[in-house]
Structure 1
Amino acid sequence: MSRSSRAPRALCRTTIARSSSDLPSSCAPGRRSLVMVGRSERESILRGIRGAKRLQRDLRLDVGASRAQRVDVFGCIARSGATLMFQPLEPLLGAFIREEGVAGIILSTRRPLGMQRFTAAHELGHLVLGHDPHADDEGILRRAPWASDGARAPRVPPEEREADAFASYFLLPPYLIKEQMELRGWEPHHFTHPETVYQASLRFGTSYRATVFALEREHVIGRSLGQQLRSAEPRDLKRQLLGDYVLKNAQRVDVWHLTEQDEGAVIEASRDDLFLLRLKEDSGSGYVWTFDELRDAGFAILRDGREPVPEGQIGSPTVRRVLVHAERPLAGLLTLREIRPWAPNDDPQLLTLYCKTATSDEAGLFEPQREELLAAS
């Protein structure tokens, strides 16, 4: 019997897990590896970063086009030999377990995608760094991943500091931040605005706080600015983008602000996310954006309008403002066109996106691993 086919049996105790009391005792919160005690915080951080660099190199995440792409952390877990499972854990975010010699990682379906991805990287860090089985709650999201904030913050056990540093560096390596800044035309001063940090977090596939910490780590922003940015609430940033449109679930739903700068971007969103397209439209020359492609791809148009032209700028391009929601899972290229209706092929402006819906809110085995098991049965 193959290793992958044994995994569901070995992890069967976790399939109905809801809290730490349902998990194997070996991964209960608070369990510590005695060999880790005494390691300095700096050593723990450096060990976590070295582990992340090693795995990035082994999986070739740091070469070619991969350098500019968000890290497929769920796929990396599978490629590292662990079984990945999603369950409605509460209040836990996730756990790293080892049963009958098989490594497994469980993630809660009850958190937004960015939080799931950071938790996944944290648990992957426990695996790669050789830690004991462990379960984690929301504490991993509230603390800085590289150092405690002076005497005001409680000390973090060494293996937790290692997993924090691993997760931060693995999901947000310096080269990914640099490549995305170049693609988007972001300069350090743009990150003084919480709205920009929030949109960056969606493209990185990380939480807002994790993104602030990584920008601070790479000296894109200073520590004082980082503290200011952490005081902003993503739910408020989402509502500011939407104007008078009522957002019913501000914790679970993200709002993607898409412009011409997103040409060629990979948009991996949760199924309930909203997309605000703000596209310059040369209406004075007869050009208009057409959105038949959106409807054909499975999007519902919730709002469609044009922003008022600023006083004194008559004749300037207008801004088309369209709010959409995907009515079915997405997986493929989407190309929008700005055309003259009477000459649609006359030098159209194009915006091409690769859209993919994440399925991490569904309980069960990670979909590619499930498909592999079904194919082998």
Structure 2
Amino acid sequence: MEEQKLFTFVYRYLKERNYTEETAMYANLAAGILGVLIVAFIIDLIVRRILIALARRISIKTKNKFDDFLIANHTPQNTAHLVPAFLIAQTTPYLFTNFPEFQVGFLKAIDVLLVILIIKVIRSILLSIRDYLKTLPAFWDKPIDSYIQVFMIFIWIIGIVSAFSILTEKSVLTFVTTLGAMSAIILLIFKDTILGFVASIQVSVNDMVRIGDWITMEKYGADGDVVEINLATVKVQNFDKTITTIPTYALISDSFKNWRGMSESDGRRIKRAIIIKTHSIHYLSDEEIEELQKIQLVSEYVSQRQKDIEKFNGEHSADKSILINGRNMTNIGVFRKYVESYLEKHPAINEEMMVMSRQLPQTPQGVPLEIYAFSKDKEWKNYEHIMGDIFDHLFAAVPYFNLETYELNVVS
């Protein structure tokens, strides 16, 4: 009865001063609502400060960082909001004693508010779990955001169903049955979300992409490192520092290149060609052979090769008055051997992997001589320096073999 007296104080005060019944009742309701809201605000402020202070004390004493993330994601604050909400729910029957028609609607609104506050608490906990898992080495490259978003979708669905059940006074089962009948529309609305969820699972299970992988996807203009994988999108930070957003399901429906294999291998591939002018290719004369024997990397090769050729020509009575008869060495053949020997002895090239210099099909510009090898250093900047040094040397070495490289002459 004491509670009843407290919540009818304004009503009794006005009645004693001969105010009308209706005026006294409405004024009492307004005063009661205002008073409860003020008390709820004060309680919320006190409880919030107590929970935050308590959480910070615990986080200082513990080595685990999970409680730090709970604080960062406002879990104590969100939890504190539940206390005044429960207080308002408990006092509502006393506030609306004379207005039973308003009481039902107000109680429904409070219940819906409680559902929303509970969802906020769960959300802050899930976000804390996400942030904590990202600090663990085992989860650095996993699409944690996708999994948390899936949980959040289920939580929101449950919350929305509960809210509608409260507002309509229908059972949750009835509402779910209604949703089942509308499944086609729901599937259409959440198509991208469902596709993204399935794609996230496949990407994770098949280990197609990890956070930190360098991927190239020309269709979307992506060429850089994966920085985030969530339910709907994959964010790629390109090397020019722009961000490309790719639908997650595109990773399983479209083609893309993942450079992780290169990063985890023992070398980064160098595959580039020097184009030799066709008219500069010729058989080597004795004077040229003698000169090439002075080049240390091919000296032994040229001497041995010349002996084998002379032996073959002698056995087959080749008429060497014309150079084309019998077997001969060519300047491009010796240069190809020089390139391969140079790569094999280069300190930045991994000799355990493929090292090759090969001739490609002729083009209108000339004969491409391709260098195929793997640098030990896979870091982009160092890789470019290594490749630049190699080709600087080879371009400078070309004239020693009486060869010419192609370059386009533009007539002005």
- TM-score normalised by L of structure 2: 0.27
Between structures 1 and 2, the one with greater helix share: 2
Structure exhibiting the larger radius of gyration computed from Cα positions: 2
Between structures 1 and 2, the one with greater strand share: 1
